[in-house]
Amino acid sequence: MNRRFDIKHYQGFLAITCLCLFILYAPLIIVMIYSFNDSASITNWGGFSLRWYADVFTGPESEKFKLAAWNSLSIAVMAATVATTVATAGAIGMIRGGQFRGKSASFALISLPIMVPEIVTAVATLIFFSTIGFKLGTLSILVAHIVFCIPFAYLPISARLQGIEASYEEAAQDLYADRWRTFRYVLMPIMWPGILSGFLLAFIISLDDFIITNFIKGAGIETLPTAIFGSVKQGIKPNIMALSTLLLLFSIALVTLSYFIGKRGQEPHPTD
Amino acid sequence: MTSAIALKGVRKDFGTFTALSDVSFDIKDNEFFTLLGPSGCGKTTLLRLIAGFEDTTAGTIHLYGEEIENLPPNKRPVNTVFQNYALFPHMNVAENIGFALRMLGWTKADITLRVAEMVEMVQLGQFVHRKPSQLSGGQQQRVALARAMAPKPKVLLLDEPLSALDLKLRQEMRTELKRLQRETGITFIFVTHDQEEALSMSDRIAVMSSGAVQQIGSPNQIYENPANRFVADFIGETNLIASRVDSADGMHVVCSLADGEVLTALANSPLGPGSTGVVSIRPESLTVTKTAPKGESLRGTLGDAVYLGTDTQYTVLLAKELTLKVRMQNQFVASQALKQGDPVFVSIADGAARFLVD
Amino acid sequence: MAAGTGSGRTVSATFSPVRGWLLLPSWLVIGIFLLVPVLLMLVYSFLTKEFRGGVIWEFSLAAYDQFVFDRGLFGDDPPQIEWAYITIFVRSILQALGATVLCLLIGFPTAYFIATRPANTRAIWLFLVTIPYWVNLLIRTVSMKFLIRDNGPLNEALLAIGVIDAPLQLINTNFAVQLGLFYSYLPFMVLPIYASVERYNFALSEAASDLYAPKWTILRSILLPVVKPGIIAGCILVFVPSLGAFLAPDLLGGAKTFMIGSLIEEQFKGNAGNWPFGAAASMILLSMVLVVLLFYARAQSREQT
């Protein structure tokens, strides 16, 4: 088709899209490249090497990184698990609970952690914990992460649930399943892709969080983002670039996974 | 003999909207019973009340003498075939059919046996390990039937189960459904908006409109003796002509039309002179001739003719802007050369005119 | 009214008898650990500061007063307007607006371009735009810092091709912060616009074209009004987090580029802080965000009626 008469085509939009992708990717790719720099200086290229990756695992800061990574991962797993459970129950209550008073208030409450700016959540949580005398540490981080992970888990789960016709549950109940078994054997397997992407989203959001964690982590406890931030404050070092590259690749692997789960979930159902 | 389903004063409101108002009737054991009506008439709501997916606002529902309107759906020995089948997408055919049995706590061996029996009944032998998405519409329909019949329900509810199938398959499935009902002896309650489906399969039909039952009867009764103007108009095609009773002898009335012509008709109940209403005459009960026939006839002018294969449908213009649709077999038409604008006589078959009070 | 047909039922209620139990965990967790803390923060903003962090439980308007007035070291000089904090707020709003406009200028054509790709390649383009959103914001900001620092790869490349003679001083400038915000939240602009352009019925454009409208007129007067909800959603998704951003101004900026986020953070760090003042600043930020969101909700409900 002649491009000039293609109603959808606008001159220059492809160029802007490429520019957009370039802006998004250039810094990440540059850091990835420099993480393989043999030189101790971050400015000069000293040849290809994996020495900074070795440094991340065995260097002087490796103990700190390992502990921070363990904290980050364990908090992310727990926070995402709890948040996904809470969000799944909430989504079923909201979307399969009929019309009820307080429905929009409930929705507003569930979305509150997304609407409140992160720094405000951080301040409020810090004030709350210090007022009730809750000791700052892993547990306070975990609680805060659960709270702001809930809406992120809720979104894909509720979207999935909205796409499932209620007749599946009615059929299950009609075929003698009680409410629990309707959930266990029919609803949950069908909404599983939504639950899984909700979990992954919550997991990444928890893993990524810096601002809130930084406020309420208490002394001596670091997660990967706070450890990286602390280190970067004194200047960007090559081992941080290696660590960042690892984290980056980990995130991309998770997105890719969630993308394919989402795709599988979209397989046409006979009755959709 | 207790009836399969007994409805007494059943009412259902959705907020301010009344979906069903005061519905009472019985469905007999082993009956193929159809709820027929236009969309929004309350037929699906009634089915959902019997299945237990909705709570009644008022009234009672008895199933073989037992009151059930307070039981949840999983405690009611009735099963449903859903309009969209609602086959569980993550289970294969065998697992779908065996689901209810598993929920009821049957042993593995018993489930296997019953599933095999059902699979054979609906002729799906080679498909037992397929997922619903790998089946055609007609096959899915059979799985839905087998799944709902596997736990041997006392009553099977079918919610427009044929509406998603193409015409040819739909006609095949009609015979199939009728066969299954006869062989199993299960009471079927079938919801449809398709009158042809209802007329061809049912033992009895309840015609519904705006949340109320208009008439219950055999297909023949409903077609030949419509209880009111709605039923006459909804089932099949008919001519409805406003008229007024001149004299009455029991149910036989003599009434006059707006153009002053007079004809005799049969009323549903004894009427007095002066009652107003409509006369309903099916197009196929009318005959057009160029010469005056013996007995009663109306005079008119021949209008459009629409050729329909075996039949031709004519419009006959009477005086005062009254029109009649007439349907005649082409075999019969061929003998007379009818042309638009011809003056014609329309005669009515014996007993075909019904007088329906407003 | 479709209540009788079953198919038109919009609200399913298969779990309505237990919905209270299902929603209880969400209410409790978010209510106790976010709603109560925000209310407590409101209370804190009206308390007296304790010099080593924390508060004295005594009512005071000092935190809000401090925003607007300078009353000297001991608080008894004649009040003068204090411009420092007002400047920070104004700068934050301007930076957030700037980032929103930049994101829109780049994001709209991108979203449009992706939404008009054939279905098979569309998913790939979309996936490419989504990936950076999933990458840790801190890492992305650090990467940007690495790229644009004085003797970083960008300056070296520009020097090498002879565009500039001396390294550009980018870091610690408002421009760097602007770039960082734009870079952080660009995917937030693309995704909602993409979603609304994808739903757009191009028969409308064809009809306009048939009625003699030139292409850019079609874009301006047919497509833009139809996809406006997506554009507004994208703008809010960029503006709101930019307003309270901490990482971009902190890592890419300096003292002259201070934004609300850093101002708040400073009040809770170490012993130098002023908790009531930090709480008050947070309340002001939260109020601004809520105003924007309410405005959005109203515009949206007007759109629907």
- Report which of C222, C202, C208, C197 is spatially closest to residue A17, judged by C-alpha positions: C197
Pairing outcome for strands B187-192 and B155-159: parallel
- What pLDDT does residue C109 have? 94
- What pLDDT does residue C96 have? 95
Between CA C2 and CA B104, with CA B45 as vertex, the angle to 5 degrees is 130
Q: Which residue has the higher pLDDT, B307 or A86?
A: A86
> Amino acid identity, residue A64?
K
Contacts of C6 in chain B (CB under 8 A): 44-45, 48, 83, 159
Between CA A184 and CA A191, with CA A185 as vertex, the angle to 5 degrees is 75
Percent of chain C clearing pLDDT 90 (strictly above): 40
Lowest-confidence region among A34-43, A60-69, B115-124, B165-174: A34-43
Integer Cα distance of B178 and B180 in angstroms: 6
Taking CA–CA distances from A172, the nearest residue in chain C reads: C14
Is residue C114 a part of any domain in this protein? yes
C-alpha separations of A173 from A23, B47, B51 in Å:
53, 15, 10
Q: Which of B44, B50, B133, B139 to mutate to test the interface with A (most CBs of A within 10 A)?
A: B133
Is residue C221 a part of any domain in this protein? yes
Is residue C42 a part of any domain in this protein? no
- What pLDDT does residue B115 have? 95
Three-class SS of A102-171: CHHHHHHHHHHHHHCCHHHHHHHHHHHHHHHCCCCCHHHHHHHHHHHHHHHHHHHHHHHHHCCCCHHHHH
Which tokens go with A153?
């888990």
Q: How many domains, chain C?
A: 1
Pairing outcome for strands B262-267 and B354-357: parallel
Q: Which SS3 state, helix, strand or coil, does residue B203 take? A: coil
> How confident is residue A71, by pLDDT bands cut at 50, 70 and 90?
very high
Q: What is the mean pLDDT of chain A?
A: 89
Q: What is the mean pLDDT of chain C?
A: 86
Is residue C139 a part of any domain in this protein? yes
Residue by residue, DSSP assigns C74-124 as TS-SPPEE-HHHHHHHHHHHHHHHHHHHHHHHHHHHHHHHHHTS-HHHHHH
Integer Cα distance of B20 and B57 in angstroms: 9
- What pLDDT does residue C219 have? 82
Is residue C202 a part of any domain in this protein? yes
Q: What is the pLDDT of residues B259-317, one digit of tens each?
A: 778 888 888 887 778 888 899 999 999 988 888 888 788 888 898 888 888 888 899 98
- What pLDDT does residue A3 have? 55
Q: What is the pLDDT of residues C121-159, one digit of tens each?
A: 888 898 888 888 888 899 999 999 988 888 888 888 888
- Across the interface, whether the CB atoms of C41 and A124 are under 8 A apart is answered yes
> How confident is residue C9, by pLDDT bands cut at 50, 70 and 90?
very low
Pairing outcome for strands B239-249 and B276-281: antiparallel
Q: Write the Ramachandran bin of C293: left for phi over 0, alpha for psi from -120 to 50, otherwise beta.
A: alpha
Q: Is the per-residue pLDDT at A165 higher than 60?
A: yes
B 143-162 near C (Cβ less than 8 A): 159
ipTM, 2 dp: 0.88
**B288 beta partners:** B346
> How confident is residue A257, by pLDDT bands cut at 50, 70 and 90?
confident
Is residue C9 a part of any domain in this protein? no
- The CATH code of the domain that includes C238 is 1.10.3720.10
Q: Which residue has the higher pLDDT, A146 or B121?
A: A146
Domain span at C226: 90-267
Instruction: Tell me if B4 sits within 8 A of B155, measured CB to CB.
Output: yes
Is residue C277 a part of any domain in this protein? no
- What pLDDT does residue A264 have? 67
Asked if A174 is an interface residue toward chain B (Cβ–Cβ < 8 A), one would say yes
Helix (H) or strand (E) holding A91: helix A62-95
Of B53, B84, B103, the CB nearest to A176: B103
Lowest-confidence region among A159-163, A195-199, C204-208: C204-208
Integer Cα distance of C271 and C73 in angstroms: 18
Q: Which residue has the higher pLDDT, B35 or C168?
A: B35
Q: What integer is the mean pLDDT of C107-118?
A: 92
Is residue C207 a part of any domain in this protein? yes
Asked if B41 is an interface residue toward chain C (Cβ–Cβ < 8 A), one would say yes
Integer Cα distance of C267 and C51 in angstroms: 11
Percent of chain B clearing pLDDT 70 (strictly above): 99
Neighbours of chain C (3+ CB pairs under 8 A): A, B
Q: Is the per-residue pLDDT at B49 higher than 90?
A: yes
> How confident is residue B153, by pLDDT bands cut at 50, 70 and 90?
very high
